[in-house]
Structures are given as C-alpha cells and as structure tokens.
Amino acid sequence: MSKRVPIKNIYPVLVDIKTSGIEHRKPKKGPLLLIHTSGLEIKKKRRRYTIAQLVISILLLGLIPTIALIVTNIERAKHDVALRSKSIAQNLSDSVEALKNVDPDLAENYLNKNAGEIKELEDIFNKSYNKTFFSILSSVVPAFQGIGTLVTGATSVNINFLSLSKILADLEHNGFIYFQSNGKLLLERLQITRTLIHEILAGIESIKNATANLRTTANFFANLDQTIGTQYIRYSTDVQTLENFLEKLSLLLGSSEERHLLLFFQNPSEIRPGGGFIGSYADLSFRLGQMSGIDVRDIYDPDGQLDLKVIPPEPLQTLTEKWGARDANWFFDFPISARTVTYFLENSKIHQEKNLTFDGAIAININVLESILGLIGPMELPEYQLTISKDNFLSEVQREVEAGKDKKAGHPKRILRVLTPLILERLKSLPPEQGRNLMDILSNHLSAKDIMIFAKDPALAEFFKKNGVDGSVYDLPNDFWGNYLAVVNANIAGGKSDAFIDQTVTVRIDIDTDGGSLVDVNVSRTHHGDQEKDSWWRATNKDFMQLLANPNATFISIQGNDSKSPTLNRNYNADGFLVNDDLYSIESTRVSLNGSQTWAMDGFGKKIFATWLTTPAGQTKTLDLRYQIPVDDRTSLHNGKIYEFIFEKQSGVPTALKIAIAAPFGYRWAENKDTVFTYEKDDLESKTILRLKLQK
C-alpha cells in the first residue's frame, strides 16, 4: 500500500513521463499524483510571439534612437529658448527706456534686434522634432497651445513698438512744425500713436495669458514666463500711462474752441524759489492742433489791472503791499508756483474781461533761449540796431529792459515781444537734420529744470510728474531712510546779481549706530559782479535762503547768516486782504529758532530752515547750518541696509555739490569699501540720488 505524500513542502507539478515498452493509457478519473520535484530539471517550452507583438517590438527598437534624438533636441531647444528669452526681455527693456528718454532712433535699433531674436525663437519651436514634440504636448495638455500664442504675441508687440518708435521719431523731429502750420497732420499722428498703443496693450495681455498658462506646466516654461512675460507686463503700466496722456493731449489740442497756454520767461539773474523772476510771459493760443497766435507781455501789465488784494509772502512785505503775478513764482514746488501765477493772471482785467483761462504753463529759463540761438544762429533786430546771439542775449536784452528806449516809453519788455516771433519762425523752417539737435537741447534743459511744465488736467499733470518734468518737489517714500536736502534761494531787492553768483554746497553726514544722523551743511556764495559796468549786475545780493531737510529734522545751530529788517506791521485782516491757502499752510507753521535770525517751517513734506545771506559784489559769504535727523522705526541697522541721499536742485541756480557720508561704527560702504563715501559734481541735474549699501 502506497504512502500518501504530505501536501506540505511540495510543488504541484503534473508529471507526464513516457517510457518505451510500456503501454500508456489515459488515466482514469481520480486524484492527481503529486511528486516532490526538488532537483528535477525541467526544460521550458519555447514561447511563441504573435505578429502584433513582433511588430510592436520592432517599432520600439526603431523608436529608441528617435526618442533619444527628440529628447536631445528638446534639451537644446530649452537652452536656446532661455537665451533668446533673456535677449528679447533685455531688448524690450532697453527700447522702452529709450522711448522714455525721447530717443526713438535708439529704441528702433533695439527693436530691430528684437525682431531677429523673436524670429530665432519662432524657428526653435518650428524645427521638425520640436514641432512634433510640442504638437503632441498641445494635444495632451491644452496649456501648451500657448506656445504659438506667445511667439505670435511677441512678434505683434515688437512690430507695433517699431511702428510706435517711428511715429514718435517723426513727432520728435517735426511735431513743433506740425503745431505751427499743420495741426490736422499733428492730430492724425497722435491718433495713429494711440491706435498703436491700444494694439500693444492687447498684445501684452495675450503674452501675459500665454506665459501664465505655460508657467504651471514645467520649470522650463516658468522661466520663459519670468523672462518674457514679466518684462512685457512690467512696461504695460508705462504704455497705459502714455495712452491716457495722449488721450487727454489729443482732446486738448484738438479742441474746436481756442485754448490757451502760458509761457513764463524766467530770468535766473533775479532768482525766485520756483525759478527765475517772471519778467515777461506769453499767451499762446491754439485750436484744432495748430497754434493760432502768440501774445508776449510784460508781467507788470496784468498786475496793473489786478483788483485782487492778497497777502504776499512775509519776506516780500517790505517791497510790496499786495501780492501779484510778478512775485507769485514763490514756491519751490513749481506746480504750486504755476498755479498761483495763473490765478493772478486769470483774475487780471486783461484776461478776465475776455473770459480767458489757461490750461497750463511752461516755464523757460533764459539759458534755454541762449541754447536755441546757438542752434538757429544770430537774429537781426534792425529797429534796435542789434544782432542778438547766444553770447550777448542776456546782456543786451537786460540793457534794453533796464535802460533802453522802450524803458523810457513805458514798455521795457517790448524787445522780447519783437524777438519771440522771429525765433519761432526760424524754428519753423529748421532743416530736418537739425530737428534731432533741437530735441537734444530741450531734453538736456528739461533734465536740469530749465524747462518745467504745468497742466491743470490731472492726467496730464500726473504724466509730467511721473516723467520728472513738472518741477515738483520730490516725495519721500514712507520707508525712506537717508537724508534729503535742497537749497532754495530768493533774490529780494538784490538787482540782477544772481547772474554773477557762484554757489557751492558742501555736506557732511555722520550716521550713528542707531541710524540717526548729524548733518552739517555749508553754503558758500561768491559774487563776481564787482567789475561789471551795469549797476544791476553789481548790486549786493540779498538772498532769502531756505534749506529743505527731512520732515523730522531738528535744528542745532547756524553761523554766518545775516539779520534782516523787520516787516511792516500791516493789519491785513482789517484791510480785507485774501489769504493764499498754499502760502498759509507753510507760513502758519513758522517758529523762530533761539534768536538766531532763522526760522523753521513745514512745507512740501519737508522741514524748512529759512534765513538771510547777504553777499556784496566782490566778496564771498558762507553759511553753516547743523541739524539732526533723530532715530525712528525706520533707522534700525543691518548688513545690506540701503541708505539714500537726495539733493534736489533749484531751477536756474548752478550749484556745485560736495558730499561726505560717514557710515555708522562697525560698518563701511559696499560701494567703495570705506567708512566714508565722498561725491562731487558741478553740473547737477534736477535730482542727485545716491544709494549706498551698508556692509559689516
């Protein structure tokens, strides 16, 4: 009897063994024989493939090198796209900056480079392997369809930017000519510009959407979004601001009713806080995009027909009983000065009886006219037996105003009334190749605050402010850590002596370990007019000086300043005089500082220290002011903290600047690896801004 094999530890294999000489019959139904097969070698049966399996295997073997090639090409494409993206973003940035700096020719150069880079980017995506790969991805992941949109959008925006740069170049070279003689063409150009900007904004929106969708699919496209999408979006605000500006400008210039703009001719020989003394002004009229007339007048003409009685600034009260347009250029913030002058002019009977109002004002210092004369050449004035050139403009015109035949006839500024139309006519016929030179001249004067622009319309005003051409006082940010300084002069009964004053401002700033600072300001003024023939140049310079500092600055001491005779004790309230709100907001904060003939006031978001400095011809006078900026929650120090020094230049006052800034103990400046940073410059632009980094 056979022994039953335990089920445990056996392999369930059915053994079919045929031995020769033995009859093998089909087994009867019953239990299978289970045999332990450990050590028994069993030959496996050969596997047979189906035709489908063979075909798939062959295809896979063939695709392996193809897939490898595609992957290699995609990696190369990613590298190339990254490089092209950076170039496209940089070219865009450079082109926009060139347009903002009124240099459309340079912008066109960058945009032409960009066109080549975008074409290269398009070629990368259109290569056979890449196209196949991205087509497959697009069918699987819809976001990848944005690749085509991205390239198309970048191409469209670049083409429109190129067109914009060309039309801006045309306006730069010929805009003034259009304004003088072809207003219809000027308005057409402005409309084309607005249309292009609309298309650019639409293209930027398309790029933004495409790169935003791609960003979520892979790091590679996130980088693409960062380099291209972000850069395009960055400038969309600038483009939108330009569009808003052009819309308002087109509405103003294109008005079918005659509109009016003021031109202030400022004479820095007699300086006032907002620029030179406004001895003359022009009423420039226009309609349908074209100038229709210009009327040059002496500033005393409207003041002679002004019935308003307004309290003048305190330093002027010994000279005049009531305020008028001639003295209203009193605020360092030019928009406030322009608004005040315009107010007096509009209330004079000369303009009020015609119901005439002004939409804005452009201040032009005398040196701008000198530069223009240098470009267009001397002007013949036969009735004055004069040839006016760049070199003699100031001296000859001032002599006519002060002692010429027109002065005796009661029209001292008539020479400007004769000269201005001649200059405009010469500019009208300026050869095209000199148009660029004229724009360079005007751009340089705008940077130096020799030209300032004021507009009543808020959108226009905001555009001029944002582009730094309105002469407004710099607004300090809430998190500002550093020092702000402006030195503001006002010639009060000092002749035309400012034409011969050299001014140097020397600043020493010591920052303490808590982030506060001790500031020493030295203002040196030298009067070189002692050898001049005409008395108005030799007059003693009487300067009412205001130094603007951080709003929390505290006075310590002053030396070298002069006293001034007290103002007349008038009862303005009893006499029914009006109060100017802008002037009152400053002078109402006035406090005397320890009997030092110095006063502190608050204005323009700054602390103002005001005093007098009198400089006779042939002498040098210096003023030394010390004040402190206390510690506050913005002054905590750490490695890498950014410090800022801001010096704001007064319009019409050439000033040399020398600065020394000492880092707090334990730190040095990263920019020069020293504990003291020094800076000197003679020819200042409207603002000098230094940004320094603390380093332990």
Q: What's the pLDDT at 436?
A: 76
User: Which of these ranges, 237-251, 353-367, 428-442, 616-630, has the smallest mean pLDDT?
Assistant: 428-442
Average pLDDT score over residue span 236-263: 89
pLDDT over 50 (residue 72): no
- Residue of higher predicted confidence among 72 and 209: 209
Burial class (CB in 10 A: 0-12, 13-18, 19+), 139: exposed
Give CA–CA dist 201/188, Å, rounded.
20
Local confidence band at 126 (pLDDT 50, 70, 90 cut-offs): low
pLDDT over 90 (residue 44): no
Element containing residue 106 per DSSP (H, E): helix 104-126
Q: What's the pLDDT at 70?
A: 45
3-class DSSP string for 23-53:
CCCCCCCCCCCCCCCCCCCCCCCCCCCCHHH
Local confidence band at 140 (pLDDT 50, 70, 90 cut-offs): very low
Local confidence band at 515 (pLDDT 50, 70, 90 cut-offs): very high
> What Å distances lie between residue 108 and 12, 161, 296, 338, CA to CA?
85, 8, 39, 36
No. of helices (H) and no. of strands (E), the chain: 18, 21
- Residue of higher predicted confidence among 449 and 124: 449
Q: What's the pLDDT at 116?
A: 74
Sort strands 668-669 and 687-695 into parallel, antiparallel or unpaired: antiparallel
Average pLDDT score over residue span 646-652: 97
74 φ, ψ (degrees, to nearest 5): -65, -40
> What Å distances lie between residue 626 and 308, 555, 621, 661, 663, CA to CA?
41, 7, 17, 15, 18
Question: Top-level CATH class of 482-562+597-695?
Answer: mainly beta
Average pLDDT score over residue span 114-140: 55
pLDDT over 50 (residue 264): yes
Residues 504, 656 contacting (CB under 8 angstroms): yes
- Residue of higher predicted confidence among 280 and 119: 280
**Nearest CA among 677, 684, 614, 678 for reference residue 656:** 684
User: Which of these ranges, 164-173, 174-183, 241-250, has the smallest mean pLDDT?
Assistant: 164-173
Residue-averaged pLDDT of the chain: 82
pLDDT in tens, 447-485: 999 999 999 999 999 999 988 999 999 999 999 999 999
- Residue of higher predicted confidence among 36 and 340: 340
Backbone dihedral region for residue 253 (phi beyond 0: left; psi -120 to 50: alpha; all else: beta) = alpha
Backbone dihedral region for residue 326 (phi beyond 0: left; psi -120 to 50: alpha; all else: beta) = alpha
Q: What's the pLDDT at 161?
A: 76
Residues 655, 649 contacting (CB under 8 angstroms): yes
pLDDT over 50 (residue 39): no
Local confidence band at 375 (pLDDT 50, 70, 90 cut-offs): very high
Amino acid, res. 636: S
Q: What's the pLDDT at 633?
A: 77
CATH value of 259-466 in 1.10.10, 2.60.120, 3.40.630, 3.40.50? 3.40.630
Amino acid, res. 289: G
**Which residues make Cβ contacts (< 8 Å) with residue 215, sequence separation at least 6?**
221, 222, 224, 225, 229
Q: What's the pLDDT at 34?
A: 44
Q: What is the 8-class DSSP label of residue 310?
A: B
Sort strands 501-511 and 655-662 into parallel, antiparallel or unpaired: parallel
Element containing residue 268 per DSSP (H, E): strand 259-272
Q: Which pair of structure tokens corresponds to residue 91?
A: 């070219």
pLDDT over 70 (residue 51): no
pLDDT over 50 (residue 368): yes
Burial class (CB in 10 A: 0-12, 13-18, 19+), 512: middle
User: Which of these ranges, 182-186, 199-203, 343-347, 437-441, has the smallest mean pLDDT?
Assistant: 199-203
Local confidence band at 26 (pLDDT 50, 70, 90 cut-offs): very low
Residues 252, 359 contacting (CB under 8 angstroms): yes
Question: Strand order in 655-662's β-sheet?
Answer: 554-559, 620-629, 517-527, 501-511, 655-662, 676-681
CB atoms within 10 A of CB 156: 18
Give CA–CA dist 433/268, Å, rounded.
31
In the three-class reduction of DSSP (H, G, I as helix; E, B as strand; rest coil), residue 460 is classed as helix
- Residue of higher predicted confidence among 84 and 624: 624
User: Which of these ranges, 71-80, 125-134, 299-308, 664-673, has the smallest mean pLDDT?
Assistant: 125-134
Q: What's the pLDDT at 571?
A: 83
Give CA–CA dist 280/265, Å, rounded.
5
**Which residues make Cβ contacts (< 8 Å) with residue 512, sequence separation at least 6?**
518, 631, 664, 665
pLDDT in tens, 382-430: 999 999 999 999 999 999 888 888 887 888 888 988 999 899 888 888 8
**CA end-to-end span of the chain, whole Å?**
100
Give CA–CA dist 298/296, Å, rounded.
7
Give CA–CA dist 302/345, Å, rounded.
6
Q: What's the pLDDT at 559?
A: 97
Q: What is the 8-class DSSP label of residue 499?
A: G
244 φ, ψ (degrees, to nearest 5): -60, -40
**Nearest CA among 339, 306, 338 for reference residue 324:** 306
Give CA–CA dist 489/435, Å, rounded.
35
pLDDT in tens, 539-568: 999 999 999 999 999 999 999 999 886 666
Local confidence band at 64 (pLDDT 50, 70, 90 cut-offs): very low
Average pLDDT score over residue span 130-158: 51
**Nearest CA among 689, 685, 275, 190 for reference residue 454:** 275
Q: What's the pLDDT at 151?
A: 61
Write the DSSP assignment of 594-618 as a string of letters. Answer: TTSS-EEEEETTEEEEEEEEEE-TT
Q: What's the pLDDT at 145?
A: 45
Local confidence band at 15 (pLDDT 50, 70, 90 cut-offs): very low
pLDDT over 70 (residue 136): no
pLDDT in tens, 205-232: 776 676 665 555 445 455 555 555 565 6
Residues 491, 501 contacting (CB under 8 angstroms): no
Residues 692, 646 contacting (CB under 8 angstroms): no
User: Which of these ranges, 364-368, 574-578, 667-671, has the smallest mean pLDDT?
Assistant: 574-578
Q: What's the pLDDT at 482?
A: 96
Q: What's the pLDDT at 336?
A: 98
pLDDT over 50 (residue 33): no
Write the DSSP assignment of 138-189 as a string of letters. Answer: HHH-GGGGHHHHHHHHHHHHHHHHHHHHHHHHHHHHHHHHHHHH-HHHHHHH
Burial class (CB in 10 A: 0-12, 13-18, 19+), 580: buried
pLDDT over 50 (residue 434): yes
Give CA–CA dist 566/581, Å, rounded.
23
Local confidence band at 190 (pLDDT 50, 70, 90 cut-offs): very high
Give CA–CA dist 366/427, Å, rounded.
17
User: Which of these ranges, 74-83, 261-270, 623-632, 646-655, has the smallest mean pLDDT?
Assistant: 74-83
Q: Provide the residue ranges of all domains of the chain, joining segments of one domain with +.
A: 52-252, 259-466, 482-562+597-695
pLDDT over 50 (residue 146): no
